[in-house]
């Protein structure tokens, strides 16, 4: 038997049968097998909780390793291509040298007869031909090297590293805060996006909102009851992460901006929980990070990591048109 008394030493809590005959205590007594069962159950629950906590991280790190392997393979292929092009460059230079040394006996005899041996070697012409050959291969190889410098080659790995520090699931949190414990109460958790969520836009006129993120998709969410939300299908016009969303005042138009350097214009229907893609704005040369309207909503301003602020104006057909660009030094 076991005495559940924290004031006793550990070894004093275990009782032999002879002790049970004389014990007088108000302390709760429980069977040894029962205690062992409770401990094992507690350890099992602890292990399951730990596994559930680290599962997302393990999955992401495994995904990161896979992306690194893909990157390694791509890089190896690109370096192989660079080496092959450089080797071809050398071969062409050698062939050029051999070609220039070939001669026709009778042509060379004419050179000797006419005493033009000193002038038969046109150095400038040969240098121009070598320059042309070098320029051709240099451009070809520079293009391959620029691909290696391209950040998009590493973007998927960077996304996963960001995901490892963020939560994948949207959590609906109530606004009641426990005064003593200072905690928020989680009401429900809703899954839909497959990667980190970057931005949300809530409707002011209905129990609906929009979400977007690293899975290159936008979703509409409509509240069914206090603890249930219905998600639309993902809208995937963007080809890279979506960083910003903005809704007009009448809530019939959405503008989204992302890391595919584009802005997408959508028609919103919160009643039917759906979006309709209309057209794209493509003046930015890098990631679009922020959007805003003026008060009358006839002007839209966007900015991004290309250090450009672009002003868009609505035309007579209510279509956004490029206005002007301000470049930040």
pTM value?
A: 0.51
Tell whether the model's pLDDT for residue 260 goes beyond 60.
yes
Q: Which of 162, 178, 212 is the last residue of a domain?
A: 162
Alpha-carbon distance 76 to 78, whole Å? 5
* Same-domain check for residues 202 and 308: yes
* Same-domain check for residues 210 and 285: yes
Classify residue 34: in a domain, yes or no.
Answer: no
Question: Do residues 169 and 189 lie in contact, with contact meaning Cβ atoms separated by under 8 Å?
Answer: yes
Classify residue 39: in a domain, yes or no.
Answer: no
Classify residue 52: in a domain, yes or no.
Answer: no
Which of 264, 240, 269, 259 shows the shortest CA–CA distance to 312?
264
Q: What is the CATH number of the domain that holds 291?
A: 2.130.10.10
Classify residue 183: in a domain, yes or no.
Answer: no
**Residue-averaged pLDDT of the chain:** 79
φ, ψ of residue 152 to 5 degrees: the values are -65, -25
Alpha-carbon distance 310 to 327, whole Å? 9
Q: Report the pLDDT value the prediction gives residue 8, as an integer from 0 to 100.
A: 66
Number of domains in the chain: 3
Tell whether the model's pLDDT for residue 162 goes beyond 70.
no
Lowest-pLDDT choice from 75-84, 188-197, 319-328: 188-197
Q: What is the number of alpha carbons within 13 Å of residue 239 lying toward its C-beta?
A: 5
- DSSP assignment of 113-155, as one string? HTT-GGGS--HHHHHHHHHHHHHHHHHHHHHHHHHHH-THHHH
Question: Do residues 306 and 259 lie in contact, with contact meaning Cβ atoms separated by under 8 Å?
Answer: no
Question: Do residues 201 and 243 lie in contact, with contact meaning Cβ atoms separated by under 8 Å?
Answer: no
Mean pLDDT calculated for residue range 16-31 = 55
**Residue 254, beta-bridge partner list:** 247, 266
More confident site: 32 or 22: 32
What is the span of the domain harbouring residue 254? 198-327
Q: Tell me the per-residue pLDDT of 174-186, one tens digit each, with 9 for 90 and over.
A: 444 444 455 556 6
* Same-domain check for residues 204 and 287: yes
Classify residue 48: in a domain, yes or no.
Answer: no
Q: Report the pLDDT value the prediction gives residue 297, as an integer from 0 to 100.
A: 93
């Amino acid at each position: 038997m076991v005495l559940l008394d924290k004031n006793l030493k550990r070894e004093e809590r275990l009782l032999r049968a002879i002790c049970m005959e004389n014990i007088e205590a108000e302390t709760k007594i429980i069977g040894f097998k029962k205690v062992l069962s409770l401990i094992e159950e507690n350890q099992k629950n602890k292990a399951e909780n730990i596994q559930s906590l680290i599962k997302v991280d393990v999955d992401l790190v495994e995904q990161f390793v896979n992306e690194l392997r893909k990157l390694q393979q791509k890089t190896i292929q690109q370096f192989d291509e660079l080496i092959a092009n450089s080797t071809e460059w050398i071969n062409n230079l050698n062939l050029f040298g051999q070609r220039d040394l070939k001669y026709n006996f009778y042509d060379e005899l004419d050179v000797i007869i006419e005493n033009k041996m000193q002038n038969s070697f046109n150095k400038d012409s040969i240098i121009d031909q070598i320059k042309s050959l070098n320029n051709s291969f240099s451009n070809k190889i520079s293009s391959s090297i620029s691909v290696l410098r391209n950040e998009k080659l590493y973007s998927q790995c960077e996304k996963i590293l960001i995901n490892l520090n963020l939560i994948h699931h949207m959590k609906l949190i109530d606004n009641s805060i426990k005064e003593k414990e200072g905690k928020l109460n989680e009401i429900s958790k809703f899954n839909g996006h497959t990667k980190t969520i970057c931005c949300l836009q809530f409707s002011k006129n209905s129990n609906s909102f929009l979400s977007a993120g690293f899975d290159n998709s936008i979703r509409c969410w409509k509240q069914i009851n206090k603890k249930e939300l219905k998600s639309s299908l993902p809208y995937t016009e963007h080809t890279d992460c979506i960083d910003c969303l903005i809704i007009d005042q009448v809530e019939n138009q959405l503008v989204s901006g992302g890391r595919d350097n584009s802005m997408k214009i959508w028609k919103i229907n919160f009643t039917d929980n759906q979006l309709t893609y209309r057209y794209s704005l493509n003046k930015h040369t890098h990631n679009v990070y922020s959007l805003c309207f003026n008060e009358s909503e006839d002007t839209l301003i966007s900015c991004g990591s290309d250090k450009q602020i672009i002003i868009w104006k609505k035309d007579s057909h209510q279509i956004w048109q490029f206005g002007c660009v301000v470049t930040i030094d």
